[in-house]
């Protein structure tokens, strides 16, 4: 099963840094499998931000809500560690 979540970041944040951080967050999440590896799609170029979708696979679909919660926590933690501003304007 593939899990995905969308996050938005301002244009001032380098997209490569965002891809790297989102993938690291997915890899650090319990329940996300290593293969196939997580990947990021840039799904929209908005007026003030870019929409990014992190995609990761799990073999534990019955724990999807818990996995999503941990993934979101890891995204916040790793963005803070990388000094990536998560306050994109829509």
Q: What is the pLDDT of residues 2-40, one digit of tens each?
A: 999 999 999 999 999 999 999 999 999 999 999 999 999
Any idea what the CATH number is for the domain that residue 23 is in?
3.30.70.100
Write out the residue range of the structural domain in which residue 49 sits: 2-81
pLDDT at 90 > cutoff 70: no
| Mean pLDDT, rounded, for 43-47 | 95
The verdict on residue 28 lying in a domain is yes
Helix axes of 15-27 and 64-81: crossing angle, nearest 10 degrees: 140
Per the structure, the count of domains in the chain is: 1
Identify the pLDDT of residue 89.
56
The verdict on residue 21 lying in a domain is yes
């Amino acid at each position: 099963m593939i899990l995905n979540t969308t996050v938005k970041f301002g244009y001032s944040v380098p997209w490569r840094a965002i891809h790297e951080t989102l993938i690291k967050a997915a890899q650090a999440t319990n329940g996300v499998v290593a293969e196939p590896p997580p990947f990021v799609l840039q799904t929209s170029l908005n007026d003030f931000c870019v929409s990014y979708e992190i995609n990761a696979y799990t073999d534990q679909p019955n724990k999807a809500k818990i996995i999503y919660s941990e993934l979101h926590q890891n995204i916040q933690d790793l963005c803070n560690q990388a000094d990536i501003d998560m306050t994109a304007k829509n």
